[in-house]
Structure formats: C-alpha cells, structure tokens
Structure 1
Amino acid sequence: MSIVRKIILGYVVIIFIPVIVFGIYYYNQIYGNLTHQLVDGRQKILEQAYSNLRADMVRIESIHRLLQYNPYVTDYLDGMYESESESVYAYLRYISPLFTQSMFVNSEIESIMIYKRKDEVFPIAKQFLDKDDIDPALRPVIDHLKPGSGIWIRQADGQSEPSFIYYQDIYNNYITEKIGLLEIRISHEMIRKFYEAAGAGNHWSALLFSEEGDLLFSTGRHSTADNRALMELIAGRDADGYFITRKSIVNQLYIEDLGVRVVVTGQVEDVFQTVRRKEMFLIAAIVVLLVVLSVIYYFLASTIAKRILRLARHMRTIRDDNLKVMINRQDNQDEIGFLTSTYNAMIQRMDELINNVHRAEILNKEAAYKVLQAQIKPHFLYNTLETIRMLAEANNDKEVADISYWFGRLMRYSLSSQKDDTVLRSEIETVMFYLNIHKMRVRDRLDYQFEIVAQADKIQCPRFMLQPLVENSVIHGLSVLRPVQIKLLVEEIDGYVRIVIADNGAGIPMDKLEGIQTLLTRGLDAKAIQSDEGGLGLYNVSERIKAFYGGESRLEIESERGKGTTLTLFLLKKAVSVT
C-alpha cells in the first residue's frame, strides 16, 4: 500500500470515524447529564413547592389553636351561656370576628364551621351546626381522632381539582371532654398554587393520584391510554423521587397529610425540542466540515507524500558500491527539503566513515583488552586483606588486624555482586565497620551508640541506605574540636520503621538547611546539588527510599548551628518486612 493510501486510510480510521463516534457519544453524554440535571432540579422545585404547601397547611391548622384557647368559644360550646341572647351576644361580639379574621388572612379557606356535640348549646346555622349534620361517611374516621391532632380529608368530584377539608376536635377548658368538631373547607386555590409552584404548565403536566393509584385530577390534556400507561409506570416505584423513560420525564412526591401522590411529567421530545433541532444542525455541520477538511487534507497529503516517495525510492538504491547523491528538483526549504539535503550530506560522509568503522572496531578491541588487563579481581583484594590481618595477628598487632578485618568486610560488601537490596541488619553492620575504622583513626574524638528495637534481620532495605547518612554525620561532626557523638536508633512506630541518625557536630547554617529541605521535599535543584555534595548524597538516599518503599516514606533533616544535625528515615512498615 502506498503512503498516500496509508495517509488517507489513517485519516479515516484514526481521525474521521473516531471524531464522528466521539461526537455522537459526547453529545449523548451531555444530553443525558442535561436531562438528569433538569429532572433533579425539577424534583427540588417540587419539594420546595411541597414545603410551601405544608407551610400553608400548618397556617390553616393553627386556626384550631386560636379557637381552642379562646374562652368565649369553649364556653359557648360547653353550654356555659344560659340564655339564647347571651349566646348570640357572645357569638356576635367575640366569636364571629375570629371566623372573619381567619378567613381574611387565609384566602384559601372557603368556610369554617364547628359541629357542637351538646344538644343544649344554641345552634347558629352559619358557623355552629349540630353534630347530626356531620357526613355519616366521615364519622368512623372523625370519631377516632387522637387528642391534639387533626386530619385532612380529600373530596373530589372527578371533574375539577380535589378540595380538602380539615377536621379536629375542640375540648373544654380542662381538656377532658370533646365539645365540638372544627371543620375547615379549603378551596381549589391552594392545590392550584401548588401546581404552579411545582412547575406545571407549558410542556409539563401535574397529575394527582390517590394512595390506591387512582387518578384524581390532571392539568394536562392526556388521553385515557396515556394516563393508564403513566399509572403503570409509577405503580411499582417509590412514591418519592424521579425517573426517566425513553419518552417521559416523571417527578413525583407523596403528600402524607393529604394521602395523595403528586406527579409532574413531561414528554422528552417536547421538553428538549430546541435541543433536538440544535443536535441535527450540529451533526450536519460536523459532517460537512469533515468532508471539506478531508478534501483539503487529501491534496496536502498527496503533495507531501510524492516528495517522500521520491526520497524513499532513492534510499532503496543505496548500497556500499552505489553512494550517489539524490538530485533535488525542487528548491523547497521546508522540512522535507532539509531532510533531502541532510540525506545527501550523509551519503557524502558515508564514504569517509565506512573505513573508519573498521579502524574504530580494532581500536575498541585494543582498549577493551587493556581495560581487562588493568582489572583487579575482587577475590584477590579480599585475600590480600585477609593475609594482612593474619600477619598482624601473628605479630600481636591487634589494631592492624582489626582495621584490616573491618576494611575487608566493607570492601566485600561494596564489591560483591549481590542484588541491589539486603536486610537492615547487614546495613547496620556495615555502618558499624565504617565507624570502627574512623574511631581507630580519631580515637577519643569519636563515640557512637546503636539502639536497635526492631527486628532488623526481617526488614528489607536497599544497599548503602545508611552509610551515606552516617558519613555525612562523621564529616560534619569532626569539623568541631569537641568530641563527636553519633547515635543510631531503629524502632517501629505508627506504621513506620523509624531510623534516626543524630550527631552533636557543627550543625548546618539556616540558609543551607532550607535549601536541603526544599531539595528533599520538592525535587531536584541542579545548582544546589552542584555546590553541595552532602545535599546530593541526601537527595539520592531520599529518592531511593521513595522508589523502594513508596507511599509516604521519606527522609527528614533537622539541624541547629553549633548543636548538631538529626537525620530521620520514615520507612512504610507494610513494605519493609520480608518472609
């Protein structure tokens, strides 16, 4: 397949098809997210509308308290007035204003009536009725009202919005006897305001269902089949929440006090009609744009590919005995022209270099042979040090024997071809040999103390993790005239293996300490490392433990000028144990 066809095929497979697929997928994702955001927002609107409705209901229910704790009302219902004139006077003077004020403040109320339970109480047909006038169908519910609580009852004629009636008993002054039953009839205005607050209108319809799932009222113009399908959808779902189908968006809320379920629904096509039109326009624009860009890309790719093909054909003819340069017919100074001129220069140089390659190979073999001759076998060095130790012991020169032994152990640990990790006990022994050699050199100026409270032989660690840190303490500690003390502590604490190396040396200046701390926490600073070998060693140890242990493993440094330096390693405990 030619490069032109590969470019075209690559464009279709790698760019054209993925762009179309991704565009459709991305749009569907946005469309789905937008749908869920819309439905979730409308659910919150529905819940807020219910909160407002509940506040109106509480406000209406508070009329009972106004009447219950009014002595004129309770005295009247309890038969305290002996004559009809006293009853009429108390009603006109004190009781009737309460009814008028309550209905004026609460515009949703159609009527307020009280059914008296005592026969001797004088009836006033407008507001005070006899208990026998209560609807017989409601008596089983009303007679079992709990003290201090009322009940909302729904009434519907199937043609308009249902109305609601609130009932609650009124007791005498001692709250020992029922003397009346308060009835507050609410107009359709309250539930109509609730529909408007819930967002019913335009493309949204509000439906009211009973607890049994029967449709009580609908604000939209839905067919019987549509209503039946919606009832089947919500039948097996929770009364609160929302859901989305292929055609409908449904928000619902159960109003426990009224015993109804409110459903606000809209058709997806109606709600997102504008979005769908933009979708078709977007898809058409993407297709047209891709077609135009494809044609432009084809001509551009063809122009470039022809020049590359000429260069490729010339490259196929190049052999050791045919190193002719390529004739560039077009004097273009673009990348392909630069590639062609560089290619010609390379061919011209090949004749000069082809012989040099053989000569370089011979020189490399000679150099490798000389390096091989100059190498010293590690075991020869170990044997030499062991011979020195044996001779020193034979001559009773314990110091020379000890320092030969320590140095031999250090060299064996350093030059052995073991893997890059070891156990912590081997690291501690190596540090001990290192300090023994320095103590032999400076005598009483150096003292050290090890405190190991962890199972060092079961803790895995990288090789030469502690030696650079101890070496830093020795170098900076011996720079003062007073004796130097180095302490090494290994313990397990808070999920970490904590290793502390402390000295009482000269300490580190504040500006230099801040630079090293920044180096350990934030990363590599080439200028700081080039000017401070100690910082480089600390940085290397820090990076090695981070790579080896991972997690929050780290190296921390603290120092005070004239008092010493403390290096602390925190090794993640779950990563340090070995079997």
Structure 2
Amino acid sequence: MRILRKYWEALTFQKKMIFTYLPLALVPMILLTVLSSLIYSNQITKNTDSNVANTVHLINDHLNTYLSELTRLSVLPYYNNKILDIMAKTGNISDSEFNQTQILLSQAIRNPRQDLQSVFLYRRDGQIFSSSIYNANINYQYDFQNSPWYQEAVKANGKVVFTGKVNDARIINRPEPAFSIARAIKVYNGPILGVVIIDVNFTGLESIFQSANLGNDSNFVVLDQNRNVIYSKNDRYLSALQGLDPHQKIVKSNGEKLIVNQLESADTGWKIVGIVSESELNAGKDILYNIIATVSAVILVVVLMVSIFLSNTITKPLKTLRRLMGSVEKGNFNVAFQSLNGNLEISQVGRAFNKMNQRIDELINQVLEFRYKQKEAELNNLKLQIRPHFLFNNLEAIRALAEIDDREGIKEITTALGGMLRYSLKKQNSKVKLREEIQQVHNYIKIEQIRSGNTLTMEYDEDPALLNCLVIPILLQPVVENCIHHGFDQADGMKWIKLEIKACEEGIRIKIQDNGIGMKEDELAMLNAYLTGEANELAFGDSGIGLKNLHTRIQLEYGSPYGLSLTTVYGSGTTVEIRVPRIEGGI
C-alpha cells in the first residue's frame, strides 16, 4: 500500500488526469454496449418468437383443414348400404360379397388424391377388407382387435381417431411411411360393427410445411398425443424435444440456445412445434458492435485530451477527507483533518470537519451520560414503588389475623414479613441468586397460607442447575402476590400456584401459573398493551401496576428481548412467563 501511495504521489499531473477520467469514459461506454446488446437481443427475440408463433398458428390452421378433409373420407361406409349390410353380418361371406366390398374400397382410394395409401375395413368378427395403391402384401393374420389403434377407435365410439405414425404389421413391407385415421362403424345406438382405418402418406403434410420457413437453422415438428414424432421438416434439433416442457419457450441443445413455440391442435391432439436457433438472431449484432466500438474509441480520445488541460490537485486531500468521514461513520471520532495548508477551499472544509467531529463527540458523551443517569433514576424509582405496594398488601393480612385474635398466626406472619423486608433492604442494589428469590416466595406463601386458612397450595418445579444463577432482586414475589390478590379475589375452594423454572434458548424461562378466575380476551389484550407501553393505563382496575413495574425493571436491566408475557383462559387461570438471561453466579 505504501508503494502504491508513493507511486501515485510521484505521478505527473497528466497521468493523474488519465487515471481519474478514464472510468468516467469507460463506464458509459460499457453500459451503452451492454444495454444496446440487451435491448437489441430482447427485441429480436420477441420478434422471432412472435414470428414463430404466428407461423405455427398458420400451419395449425392448414393442418386442421387438411385433416378435416381426410376425416370426411372415414365416413365412407355410412354412404354405402351394401358395406353397412356386410359389416353388420358375422361369419363367412360369399366371394361375391367380398369382391364387391374390395371393389368399393378400391374405387374410394383411387380418386385424384395422391396422399391416400390404403383403406382397411376390420369387421368385429375378424373379417378383413382392404385396398391399397401399392401392390402390397396384406397381412390377413394380423391381430387387429388387440392393436392400440383398434381399441382407441372402439373407445371413441364413432368419433375419428388420429393414430400417429404407422408402426404395425397390417401391410408386409410397407413401401413408405404413413399416418392413419380410424373410426368405429356403428348404426345409431347399435353395437360397433367394426373399424375403418385409412393410411395416408406424408405428401400432404410436406406441402403444408414446404412454404413455412424461419431460416436455415430452424425446423417444424409434429408430435402425437404421446409426444412421438409424426413428421419433421428436417433432422435439426430433434434431440431437444426430449423432456420438453409444454410451456417452455427457451431450450438448450448441444450448447446452442433455441427458441421454441408449441401449439396443440384441438381437433387431433397433435402438437406442432416450431424451433429456431438463436444464431439466426445474431446476424445484425456485429454491425451494431462495430458502431459502438468506433464511437467509444472517439470518446476515449476526447477524454484523454481534455484530462491533460484540467487540474487535479484537490484529489488527494478529498480522498483523505473521505477516509476520515468513513472512520467517523464507524464510530471513531478520534480523527482530525491535518492538511489545513495550501488550497483555501479544502482547508476551510477540513476545519469545518474537525469542528463538526469534535462537537458530535461531545454530544454523544452527553447523551450517554444522560441515559445512564436516567436509567439509574428509573430503577431506583421503580424499586421505591414496589416496597409500599408490597407492605400495604401484607399489613392488610396482619390486620385480618388480629381481628380474629390469632396471636400465633400474627407471630409467624410478622416473622416471615420481617425476613422479607430485611431481604428487600439488603438486596435492593445488587444481583441475587435465584434460590434466594425462591426462598422469598416461600416466606410470602407462608404468610398467605396463614391468612387464607391453608386453602392455598404451592408447587415447585425447579432445575437445580439454575438455582445459583444471578437475577435482579424482587423478581418472583410480585408475580405470586398478583396471582393471590387478583387471580383468586373471585375464586372459591382450594387455590394453587405452580412455580416452574427451566432453561431455554434465550436463558431462563420462569412460569408462574394459578387456577384463579383468569381474564377475558379483551382484558388480556389491554394488559399486554399496558406492559409493552402501547397503552398508558388500564380500563379495568390496577391489577397490572406491579407487573408493569417488574416488566420495566427487567427490560431496563437486560434489554427488550426479556420481560413478562401473559396467557390466560377465562375461568381456568392465568400463566405469567418471565424471561431473563442466564448469568452464572457460582456456588
């Protein structure tokens, strides 16, 4: 770093200008190149995708028209009563009937069309009639009833079925590839008499796709319902069709990016796929890049010439000032700008920076001191609020015992109360062990059991590993006191309180549960809002004052993640959960 600094300081004025202004020229040029390329590529891609989609739709319209003409040929048996009569029969037929049917089929296929390859009539009892434009060998032993196309035609119940590319043994040594159209023959609601199937070569499809052209690096493919290839204009990109998602627009094949558009025919269920390579889109990019490179070179030359005539003596002090500001942002105020000589404007900025930095440091120290004193005063004030509240409640208990002249009870309750007050005075300005807080609860419960005539029971579930942890004093007793005086004020019968102390991820979780009257949902919501400071007072009494004071003490001591939370079921009791950090206090 020192070498670089010396190298920079040793540079001439002209070189500093070059290193300073080169980014100003390079960044716009790079952005211009990147944005132009992105905009151009995106627009060309959109146009190509639109062109492919329009071409695919046009091909689909022509294909549907062509297949509709073929579909009308499949209703040939319905226009000839003799064929229907022969198809309705079962068993052997005469030679004259067989020959007559063969002649009718030959007449149907020997029309001016060049795409019809053969016609078959498969009767339900296994009888086969056929005619072909080739001298083909018909396989009369072919098990057509178990063939997929026959079963699909029967299932279609008289509707036309397009079977895709022919791959069966109906004709031995088929001279050229073909696809088929099949239809089940039936009269009204009667039984299926058989199936007519017409084989069609690909001359008709070739004529449709011949006029469609998206460039040298493109292809059109027709797929059947099982995504098998029926027809492909050429052999390009067929491997890209494997695993092609129906909604996928962009695919990669052999490292080449392809734009794909797919359209499924509603009539046949066939899918037409148009594919064009991205290389077709890149033809005009080279010209654009050459123009951008030329303009960028001119801008660079201009920037270099201008930088020679400009002054850059303020660069170094400005960088120094920026570095010092970064240190101030990170909290280091023990910095000062030293270069106060030389350039008048920079010196004035440096003096202002030093004064501002010194003033900020003073203000921060004042705020920290004020917050510390404020926190200390709030803690002392809260502790003073707790003592009168506690004394008032327990003096009321002693008064009640005096009214019934229970001297032994008064003796026990005053002894326990005196121990609690000594603990409170002794521990109010220090941390205490959790076991001492539990003992404080023992003393308080003893007082309440005497006062209530032993109708109160207390359960403890403590983790022994937590008993030596340090907490703030007077942590548990205010919550237990609140259970008795507000949870049981309308309850009859046996009353019980359970104190549970367990470890948790945040530290220590203390639960104090009672079987008192509980609270309604709206009361619980108001109390939680009062605890968190969202409400300044309670609308249903003062039962939350002690809990509010305790919650505030915990958050002032440990921070906002800790404090109190309440859950309740009206008529069944309330649970107060206290969360404090785990601070080990030794044995």
Given the two structures, how large is their TM-score scaled by the length of structure 2? 0.44
Relative contact order, CA 8 A, sep 6+: which one is greater? Answer: 2
